[in-house]
Amino acid sequence: MDDLSLGTRQQMPEGLRALLAEFPRDGWERHRHFAGLVQFWLERHMMFRQLRTVMQQDVEAAMDKKMPGREQASRLSRFGGMMVSQLHGHHQIEDAHYFPVLGRMEPKLGKGFDILDADHHAMDGLLNRFTESANAVLQGKGELGTFRQELLSFGTLLERHLEDEEDLIVPVILRHGPGKLE
């Protein structure tokens, strides 16, 4: 699975994206199974993207002396803590409940759920690095530029994971409905 690891793959293999042809992204919001679980789940993903963007904008503003360091630190503490805790909880629910149920609904996509599970384990390490880098900045022991680089690296891998997860999971829920997941 090395060539499909989070740090190396460009997207899920075509065979695992088969349902995406039947349920393309541009039709998700109009599908009868979109409202409720799918919409909520995608909103959670959007929240993670927004938190990363806000932290990146904040650190760049602080580096450019357009935001006081205290304000950036306060926001980093709040938004960084929110992102780490919410991602951990989100992944636990997916690993323990959603992935097994969705895998039973579409057994041919089992490898995809294994890949996403492996992503979660890889992201534990990324979240630890992010936390260490953020804490170093908050404690005055780390450089903003170093944290910015860590955040950019984390953001790239987070986006790869979120896109792949959406491409795999949303079509399954749209096809089968959310009944067994709620």
23 is written with which tokens?
């349920």
- pLDDT over 60 (residue 181): yes
Tokens standing for residue 167: 């491409």
Alpha-carbon span 164 to 172, nearest angstrom? 13
pLDDT at 180 over 90: no
Q: Which pLDDT belongs to residue 2?
A: 53
Q: What are the pLDDT digits (tens) for 71-104?
A: 999 999 999 999 999 999 999 999 999 999 999 9
CA distance 124 to 4: 17
* First CA to last CA distance, the chain: 31
pLDDT at 3: 84
| pLDDT value of residue 1 | 46
**DSSP assignment of 38-105:** IHHHHHHHHHHHHHHHHHHHHHHHHHTTSS-HHHHHHHHHHHHHHHHHHHHHHHHHIIIIIHHHHHHH
Confidence (pTM): 0.94
Per the prediction, the chain carries an average pLDDT of: 95
What residues does each domain of the chain span? 28-176
Q: Which helix (H) or strand (E) holds 18?
A: helix 18-22
**Mind listing the pLDDT tens digit for each residue in 11-55?**
999 999 999 999 999 999 999 999 999 999 999 999 999 999 999
Residue with tokens 């799918």: 38
State whether residue 179 is helix, strand or coil.
coil
Residue 140 has pLDDT above 50, yes or no: yes
